[in-house]
Structure 1
């Protein structure tokens, strides 16, 4: 079974899925947030489609390790996701993943327009890959 990584944002949720062995993360797309909470249905569809057994949600922490308002929003999202999907949902420290994704895209000379389209997916991939890497070190 695969693991899904999510980068929760104000407008979009970046999505990545592991390979069947849980070794590598691949960005699969972006789910647009909706006022009616329809993003949960879309994520549930992706979970079924990719045969996901657990989910990792990026938790934005402050640089001192504390959790601010943004982190609390992500924790509430993870709790709701856990209830709706009935799967294990893990929170993973995502400090600087979006910054790292932006830097990677800049170094690859990706245009600003294209960066906006893929930065959430790349951030989700980094979150998931960091989580997967931490599991193999145990």
Structure 2
């Protein structure tokens, strides 16, 4: 099964693609969101265009990063992301999974720390790398037993 991960941000939204069979995950792109568009239906349209470009009409499921608090609770931002993921599921007709995204942006930063990239180049790649980290975590969760505390549930709404 192919998956596309979405790291929803206020200014930028990162996308990554991966395959459960091979375990290979690759960052795809970062969508820049004009003021007020990230989290809106216009962004859903942009995301769906990128998904079609990346995987065509083929089957894939979506994984949306869920911004959990460090103590494992959900705050206001998580509720916003869940609502957006519900609209994405309804509009796309695809199954949407939620995945805890704690520390994925930090993981992206650590991965680029010694890359030699400029600050601007790192900023341009960060969200797609964070989406890739979300997807790697999700794929790893498919191969291990889950318990009730896992945030990788499948109910975006």
Q: TM-score, normalised by structure 2?
A: 0.80
Give the C-alpha shift of residue 103 in structure 1: 1.7
Query: Does residue 123 of structure 2 align to residue 113 of structure 1?
Result: no
Of 32-41 and 122-131, the range deviating more from structure 2? 32-41
Distance 2:59 2:126 in 1: 22
Distance 1:111 1:13 in 2: 20
Label 1:125 to 1:64 Cα distance change in 2 as closer, same or farther (>3 A). Answer: same
Match of 1:122 among 126, 129, 140: 129
Task: Identify, as 1 or 2, the structure richer in strand.
Answer: 1
Runs of 4+, deviation exceeding 4 Å? none
Give the root-mean-square deviation of aligned CA atoms: 1.8
CA contact (8 A) 1:59 1:74 kept: yes
Query: Does residue 46 of structure 2 align to residue 42 of structure 1?
Result: yes
Distance 2:109 2:71 in 1: 22
CA contact (8 A) 1:22 1:132 kept: no
Show the 5 A alignment for 1:42-121: 42-49=46-53, 50=55, 51-121=58-128
Of 115-124 and 62-71, the range deviating more from structure 2? 62-71
Which residue does 2:29 correspond to in 1?
29
Give the C-alpha shift of residue 61 in structure 1: 0.6
CA contact (8 A) 1:4 1:52 kept: no
CA contact (8 A) 1:32 1:39 kept: no
Give the C-alpha shift of residue 47 in structure 1: 2.5
Unmatched tracts of structure 1, length 5 or more: none
Give the C-alpha shift of residue 106 in structure 1: 1.3
Unmatched tracts of structure 2, length 5 or more: 146-157
Which residue does 1:12 correspond to in 2?
12
Counting matched residue pairs gives 138
